[in-house]
Amino acid sequence: MKKNVLLLFGGCSSEHEVSLKSATTILTNIDKTKYEVHPVGITKEGKWLLYKGNDLDLTKNGWQTNGIPAILSPDATQKCLWICKEGNTEQIKINIDVVFPVLHGKNGEDGTIQGLCQLAQIPFVGCGVLASAISMDKAFTKIAVATKNVPQAKYVIVKDKELEDIHQVVEKIEAAFDYPYFIKPANAGSSVGISKAKNKEELVDGLREAMKHDKKALVEETIIGREVETAVLGNEDLKVSGVGEILAAAEFYDFDAKYNNAESKTVVDADLPQETKEKIRQYARDVFDAVEGKGISRIDFFVKEDGGIIFNELNTLPGFTSISMYPMLFKAAGIEITELITNLVELASL
């Protein structure tokens, strides 16, 4: 008997469009002999719509035009999706075995949707509430990873209220370490709201830009090095991929360089000493364990000229687009996309 899989995509996030691309990949490649997929898109306004169309390209937004209002019940005795036809009081119940939340960024990757799944007592793909929340917040990720003694960049945390005295904030940062700085919203994904500051004016502008996306910002020292990534699959018995490398077209790998600049490239087998690759893979295991991860994550590092390895960030719901490193790394390791999706669904748990 096929498992009923609820595929959630879209979402109230700056990464809404990226989610549509990732969900399209999964909907196109999931093993339909094993799974009955029920795609539910969440609009930017937060409306849930079940899509029953034949066009698997969710980026065309046909799901918004033709979708049927639907709600995942938090009632643990029901474990279902309720379909509510507009203009009709009739409600249709669809039993759900697994939830696959392909929701990048806020309101999807931060523990919120994971909490709903736990209330409903329906197994879901990926990290749980705690791991998702910690990993979404770059400041708390730093704190958790420090328990494993994994090398990290120096950093300062700035909250939005502190900007009322911007001069004091600048002094605090400048006293911690030297320019240039990277400024990031603490809770945002896909490099949204990130900037580089080479002077005081750019620092102030960067902090204000970051606060447009979150109430807290992380200011980090600049690490000169190669950007590398590795992928993790599993719960207790982890599979860690090889080490890939990002060759960003821009000065740093921001949202535009990642998704809109054709000059940005990825290499699935970075030209690094084997000893360095193994160290990166071990650090990835340590980071995953530090946040109590499960199922899926992509973990990013810098490799400096002297061979030093610096942890950059952890992504608990990496992209599944045509240019996303997570599926590319596992394909290079011999796991094709359909098998990878199957593994993730079968690893789903509470």
CATH of the domain at 261: 3.30.470.20
Whether residue 283 sits in one domain with residue 141: yes
* Residue 323: inside a domain: yes
Whether residue 95 sits in one domain with residue 55: yes
> Of 350, 316, 300, whose CA–CA distance to 134 is shortest?
316
Between CA 87 and CA 205 the distance in angstroms is: 49
Whether residue 268 sits in one domain with residue 330: yes
Whether residue 336 sits in one domain with residue 249: yes
Check the CA dihedral 225-276-234-148 and report its sign.
negative
Q: For residue 107, which amino acid is it?
A: N
Between CA 36 and CA 330 the distance in angstroms is: 24
* Residue 140: inside a domain: yes
- State the CATH number of the domain containing residue 217: 3.30.1490.20
Q: Give pLDDT, residue 276.
A: 98
Q: pTM to 2 decimals?
A: 0.92
Residues 272 and 228 sit within 8 Å (Cβ to Cβ): yes
Whether residue 159 sits in one domain with residue 115: no
* Residue 36: inside a domain: yes
Structure token digits, residue 165: 């005295």
The contacts of residue 95 (CB under 8 Å, 6+ apart) are 4, 79, 80
Between CA 329 and CA 277 the distance in angstroms is: 13
* Residue 106: inside a domain: yes
Give how many domains the chain has, as a whole number: 3
Which residue range is the domain that position 47 belongs to? 3-124
Q: Give pLDDT, residue 135.
A: 96
Whether residue 199 sits in one domain with residue 162: yes
Whether residue 290 sits in one domain with residue 145: yes
- State the CATH number of the domain containing residue 28: 3.40.50.20
Structure token digits, residue 234: 């599993």
Q: Give pLDDT, residue 257.
A: 46
* Residue 324: inside a domain: yes
The contacts of residue 330 (CB under 8 Å, 6+ apart) are 231, 233, 239, 241, 340
Per-residue pLDDT 10s for the chain (350 aa) are 999 999 999 999 889 999 999 999 999 999 999 999 999 999 999 999 999 999 999 999 899 999 999 999 999 999 999 998 766 656 789 999 999 999 998 899 999 999 999 999 999 999 999 999 999 999 999 999 999 999 999 999 999 999 999 999 999 999 999 999 999 999 876 567 899 999 999 999 999 999 998 999 999 999 999 999 999 999 999 999 999 999 876 555 454 544 454 556 889 999 999 999 999 999 999 999 999 999 999 999 999 999 999 999 999 999 999 889 999 999 999 999 999 999 999 999 99
Between CA 150 and CA 133 the distance in angstroms is: 20
CA distances from 71 to 38, 81, 125, 343 (A): 12, 6, 19, 26
* Residue 70: inside a domain: yes
